[in-house]
Chains A and B, each alone.
Chain A
C-alpha cells in the first residue's frame, strides 16, 4: 500500500518489542463473534494512474460550466474566482492542519479566521462573527434556535419567500426541538412577504422573524416593516443575506438585525455540486455568548505580542456538553479562508465591481428576455442578481434544448409550485456576447 510505510521487518520488530508475534495478537480484546471474516466488499486497490483514469471517466459523464454557459443560481452561483485563491488554500500548512487547539503553532489559521470574522462584520455591519458554519441553511436553523434560547420562546416566523431547501432544513432543526413555525405568505404581485397579512401573525409569541435578502426569487424584501413588528413585540430579527449583494446593499445592522447568516459559496468557492462552501453567522455584542460554533479572539503572548486564540469556549460542546449552544465542532474553516483571500484580493473596489456587474448584467438579461413575446416579469419588487420570468412553456423541455446548444438555462420553478415561472441568475462571469446568444437561442426555441 503506497501510503503505509512499515516494512515487514519493522512490523516483526515492533511486535517483538511488546512480546507479540503476529498482528492478530493486537486484536485479542475483540470477541470472536464480533470479528469480521472475509474481505470488505469494496473495489481496488487502484494505482494512482488508474485512480486518475477512473475519476476522469466519472468527470467526463458530467457536463460542466467550463463548457456550458450557465444561468443557474438559486443558492449556488458561477462567479469568477481569482487563481490565487485555490493556490494559497491548497498550501499543505493550511490544508493538513486541524482546529487550532494549540494556538502557539497554529497562528496562521487563527489570524486568518480573525481576518475572516472582521470581513463578515464589515459586510454585515454586525459586531461579531463566528468562524463559520456548514452552510447557509444550517446557519439559519441555528440562528432560529439561538433566538429561541435568547427569548425563551418557541415559535419562529418564516417567510414563504425563503429558499425552499432552507425552509426544509430549518423545519427539521426546529421540529427536533419542538419549536413551531408560522409562515408569512407570499404576495403574488410583488414576490415578497405579504405585508397586508402581517397583522394575522402571532408576533407576541415569536422568538424571531426571518427575512431572506434577496429572497428566493432574487427580490428585495421590505425589511423595515418586519423589523418594527418583531422588535415591538420583543422578538429578534434574523436576516439571511447574500454576501455579494452586500457590496451594494445596506448592511443588515442598519436594519437593526440581531442575527445575520448566509451562505458563502459566492465568495471564492467552487460550485462543487453544492459543497463544500460555508455558512456565516454574525450577531450583536449582546448576544455573543449565545452564538454557536468556534470564535477566534485577540490576546497577547507571554512577551506581550499580539496573538490569536480560540475563545469563549465555554459555549461549546467539548466544555459544556449537553448545555452547549450547539453541537457544532468541525466547521468549514478552509472555505472561510478561501473567502478571506477572495475578499482580500478583490479589495474594497473590486468587491463593489462584482456586485455592480452582477446587478447590471442581470438587469440586461431581464430586459432582453422581456422583449420576447410570451414572457413577462413574474413579480414587481426590485431584484439584484436573480429574477423570475413568467411564461406558459414547458421549461424543462426548453432547458433540454438549450443544453444541446451549450446553455444551462434557469431553474424551472414548477417543482416549487410555480408552474409558469423560471428563475435566472447572472453573475459578473457572463459576457454580453453570451447573454445575447442565450436570448436569441431562447427566442428561437419559444417561437
Chain B
C-alpha cells in the first residue's frame, strides 16, 4: 500500500488548552516574576506552539516518517553519499548514560572514558589515512574542508608565506570545495579534467606557482575514478610549495587499499556519516574530522586528547587555529564511527572497500550498453552514466530519477558532476546483496524501455510516491517558509 501524503501540519492539529507533557509541580517557593525580570524584557504573547496530546504527536511524526525513503526502507544508490546500512547496535551504544549524559565541562577525571574514545578514534582515523594527528571537532564534511583549509592557511602564514592564497580545485569537484575556499578567503583556480577523467597534469603544471596554497582533490574523484597520476600530481603541487587536501567523501573505496597520506596528501577529512556509517539523519548530524601530517599537527583546532601513561587529558596544539565549533564536535556521532571501525577490524575495512567497488562495477557493467558511460574504465565505489541518450524521447535524467521511486528505489545523484551531461551518479555500497543489485539493474533497463515506448510514464512520474511531482519553481518564486497563524 502506498502511503499518500495528506498530513496536516502539527499546528493545524492544535486544540486550545490541550497538553502533551507535564512537568512535576514546582516545589520551590515562588517569587513574582516581576521581581525577577523587569517588565520590558518579558514577552506579552506566548509563542504559538501546538497544543496537542502525546498520542497526537506520536501519530503525527510516525505518519510523517512513513513518507520517507531511508536506507532501512529500500535501496538508496545516491552517488557520493555512501548510503550504506547503519548498524542498529550503534544507537544502543550511544544511548549508554555514560556517554549520552555527560557534560563537556565536567572535570577531566570524570570523563576518562570519553577522552579515551576520542583518543582511540583519532589514532584509528590517522592509521586509515596514513597520516599523523586528527581533530574530531568539525561537524560535517564541509566543516572539515573549512577546518582543513584554515590549517593549511595557518601553516603558510606561520612560514611567512601568507601570500599563498590560490587553491586549485578540479572542475569535477564537489561544490563544497570552492565554497570552502571562499570561506577562508582563497581564490579558486579551476583545473580541467583530462580525457580519462583525472586531473589534467599538463594544465596543473601551468597553474601552480608561488601563490599556490594547495590542491583539493577527491580520489577516487566524483566520476568514481581513481586518479592514476596521483603521485605525479602530489609532486607537482609539493614542488611548488603547496599542500594537498583530500576530500574524503569517497573514502569508502580505499580503506586498507590506499592510504591518502602515502600518496602525498597532507590533510584528509572523512565523512563519518558516509564511510563509517553513522546515519545521515535526513541531513545530519554528521561528523567531518580531519587528519593531518606531522608538520600540520601543531595547527589543528583544539582541544585534542593526549595520553599520559593511562590517563587522558585535553591539550591545545602548540599553534592551534582555535575552535571551529564549541566543545569536542559531534561526540555521539563519531562514537558510532569508532564502533564501526572496531566491528570491522583491519581486514573487515578492506573487505568493505572491496565489496563496494565490486558492487559498483557489477552494476556499471550491466547498464553501460543502454546508457552512455562517458569514461569507460573500471570504476571504484561509484560510477557516472549519462542520461543524454533519453533526450531523443523527450525524457531527461530527472524523469528517470522520479520514475525509480515508483519501483521503490531512491534515485541516484543526478546532474552531478557538472562535467557529464545529464549525469546519473550511482553508488550501490557494499551492504547491498546481489539480489538487490539485480533488481535495480532490471528496473533501470525497464525504465530505459519505457522511455522509448511510453515517455509520458517517465515525464509524469512519480506515480506511486506520497505526492506527485512538485512545482519547485513556485517555491523559490514565492517563498513560503513557515506556517502562517490564522
- With known contacts A104-B467, A288-B481, A40–B402 Cβ distance under 8 A: no
Chain A window 225-246, contacts with chain B (Cβ cutoff 8 Å), 1 for yes, 0 for no: 0000000000000000000001
A419 vs B91: C-alpha distance in the bound complex, in angstroms?
41
- With known contacts A95-B281, A246-B47, A360–B26 Cβ distance under 8 A: yes
| Partner of A34 from B185, B231, B279, B472 at Cβ < 8 Å | B231
Chain B window 43-80, contacts with chain A (Cβ cutoff 8 Å), 1 for yes, 0 for no: 11011111110100110111011111111110010100
- With known contacts A6-B355, A122-B47, A246-B47, A172–B482 Cβ distance under 8 A: no
**Would you give the shortest CB distance from A333 to chain B, in whole angstroms?**
4
| Partner of A42 from B54, B184, B341 at Cβ < 8 Å | B341
Instruction: Tell me whether A103 is interfacial, beta carbon within 8 Å.
Output: yes
A residues in contact with B416, CB < 8 Å? 318
The answer to whether B327 and A317 have CB atoms under 8 Å apart is no
Instruction: Tell me whether B245 is interfacial, beta carbon within 8 Å.
Output: no
- With known contacts A82-B21, A348-B50, A382-B38, A33–B328 Cβ distance under 8 A: no
| Partner of B430 from A4, A86, A297 at Cβ < 8 Å | A4
The answer to whether B469 and A104 have CB atoms under 8 Å apart is yes
Instruction: Tell me whether B1 is interfacial, beta carbon within 8 Å.
Output: no
Instruction: Tell me whether B474 is interfacial, beta carbon within 8 Å.
Output: yes
Chain A stretch 51-96: residues in CB contact (< 8 A) with chain B: 51-52, 54-67, 70, 72, 74-76, 78, 80, 82, 84, 86, 88, 90-96
Chain A window 168-194, contacts with chain B (Cβ cutoff 8 Å), 1 for yes, 0 for no: 110111001110000000000000000
The answer to whether A115 and B483 have CB atoms under 8 Å apart is yes
Q: Which residue of B lies closest to A263 (CB)?
A: B326
The answer to whether A61 and B181 have CB atoms under 8 Å apart is no
The answer to whether B366 and A105 have CB atoms under 8 Å apart is no
The answer to whether B354 and A95 have CB atoms under 8 Å apart is no
Question: What band does the interface of chain B fall in when counting residues whose beta carbon is under 8 Å from A?
Answer: 35 or more
A176 vs B348: C-alpha distance in the bound complex, in angstroms?
40
Instruction: Tell me whether A205 is interfacial, beta carbon within 8 Å.
Output: no
The answer to whether B23 and A428 have CB atoms under 8 Å apart is yes
| Partner of A169 from B46, B102, B324, B330 at Cβ < 8 Å | B324
**Would you give the shortest CB distance from A142 to chain B, in whole angstroms?**
9
Chain A window 22-42, contacts with chain B (Cβ cutoff 8 Å), 1 for yes, 0 for no: 010111111101111001111
A421 vs B26: C-alpha distance in the bound complex, in angstroms?
28
**Would you give the shortest CB distance from B162 to chain A, in whole angstroms?**
11
| Partner of A178 from B66, B87, B185, B262 at Cβ < 8 Å | B185
The answer to whether A270 and B257 have CB atoms under 8 Å apart is no
- With known contacts A322-B182, A348-B46, A102–B405 Cβ distance under 8 A: yes
Instruction: Tell me whether B207 is interfacial, beta carbon within 8 Å.
Output: no
A residues in contact with B280, CB < 8 Å? 96-99, 330
- With known contacts A46-B342, A344-B10, A119–B64 Cβ distance under 8 A: no
Instruction: Tell me whether B170 is interfacial, beta carbon within 8 Å.
Output: no
Instruction: Tell me whether A155 is interfacial, beta carbon within 8 Å.
Output: no
A294 vs B86: C-alpha distance in the bound complex, in angstroms?
24
| Partner of A66 from B44, B97, B279, B328 at Cβ < 8 Å | B97
Q: Which residue of B lies closest to A39 (CB)?
A: B346
Instruction: Tell me whether A347 is interfacial, beta carbon within 8 Å.
Output: yes
The answer to whether B481 and A128 have CB atoms under 8 Å apart is yes
The answer to whether A119 and B47 have CB atoms under 8 Å apart is yes
The answer to whether B402 and A112 have CB atoms under 8 Å apart is no
- With known contacts A29-B378, A58-B117, A382–B36 Cβ distance under 8 A: yes
Tell me how many residues of A have a C-beta within 8 Å of chain B.
Answer: 202
B residues in contact with A375, CB < 8 Å? none
The answer to whether A326 and B183 have CB atoms under 8 Å apart is yes
Instruction: Tell me whether B211 is interfacial, beta carbon within 8 Å.
Output: no
Chain A window 260-276, contacts with chain B (Cβ cutoff 8 Å), 1 for yes, 0 for no: 00010000001111111
The answer to whether A432 and B72 have CB atoms under 8 Å apart is no
- With known contacts A39-B347, A274-B327, A321-B175, A99–B185 Cβ distance under 8 A: no
The answer to whether A105 and B410 have CB atoms under 8 Å apart is yes
The answer to whether B128 and A273 have CB atoms under 8 Å apart is no
Q: Which residue of A lies closest to B7 (CB)?
A: A111
The answer to whether B255 and A40 have CB atoms under 8 Å apart is yes
A404 vs B413: C-alpha distance in the bound complex, in angstroms?
55
A307 vs B29: C-alpha distance in the bound complex, in angstroms?
48
- With known contacts A6-B434, A273-B102, A344-B10, A301–B342 Cβ distance under 8 A: no
Chain B window 90-121, contacts with chain A (Cβ cutoff 8 Å), 1 for yes, 0 for no: 01111111111111111100111110110000
- With known contacts A64-B102, A305-B468, A312-B479, A27–B357 Cβ distance under 8 A: yes
The answer to whether B257 and A36 have CB atoms under 8 Å apart is yes
The answer to whether A327 and B58 have CB atoms under 8 Å apart is no
Instruction: Tell me whether B298 is interfacial, beta carbon within 8 Å.
Output: no
| Partner of B281 from A39, A42, A324, A333 at Cβ < 8 Å | A333
Q: Which residue of B lies closest to A342 (CB)?
A: B21
A residues in contact with B110, CB < 8 Å? 62-63, 403, 408
B residues in contact with A64, CB < 8 Å? 97-102
The answer to whether A51 and B342 have CB atoms under 8 Å apart is yes
Can you name 27 A-B pairs with beta carbons within 8 Å? A3-B84, A14-B434, A18-B361, A44-B345, A46-B342, A55-B96, A62-B113, A65-B101, A72-B106, A84-B58, A88-B65, A98-B283, A99-B282, A114-B483, A134-B143, A176-B153, A177-B183, A220-B37, A250-B42, A273-B114, A297-B481, A314-B476, A319-B175, A327-B182, A334-B285, A347-B19, A431-B24
Contacts A114-B481, A323-B182, A344-B52 known; 4 new A-B pairs at CB < 8 A: A17-B362, A29-B225, A114-B482, A278-B285
The 4 closest A-B pairs by CB, nearest first: A59-B98, A274-B327, A44-B345, A92-B72
